Structure 1
Amino acid sequence: MSKNKFSFRGSNLAHTYSIVARDTKTGEMGVGVQSHYFSVGSIVSWGESGV
């Protein structure tokens, strides 16, 4: 069995991810963002309805 080549320590791990979904019945869309950082909403992608 081979050893893992990568080593992760403590707070070196910080991730931000987004998810976009569309309701097939209504056509409504939603965007969600999760992040380790505070106030990330001003710098991440976002969606606007009716465009």
Structure 2
Amino acid sequence: KGAIIDIRIKIIIPFWILKVIFLQFHTLGAFPHPPFPTSLATYEFFYILNKSRHQ
């Protein structure tokens, strides 16, 4: 069970970092909109982080 969460974290964190980078460009007006829903990605990131911490 822990291995599945580790894999998900390894997938989520790069996406989360990319999201932050894209949002930086978005505030500068480089992109018309963020590549994926911001709040959902952030929520999922912290949800997985908390889940992995409680095991």
Which structure shows the higher helix fraction?
A: 2
TM-score bracket for the superposition, by shorter chain length:
under 0.3
Which protein, 1 or 2, shows the higher relative CO under an 8 Å CA cutoff with sep ≥ 6? 2
Give the TM-score taking structure 2 as reference length. 0.19
Instruction: Give the greater-gyration-radius structure (CA).
Output: 1
Which structure shows the higher strand fraction?
A: 1
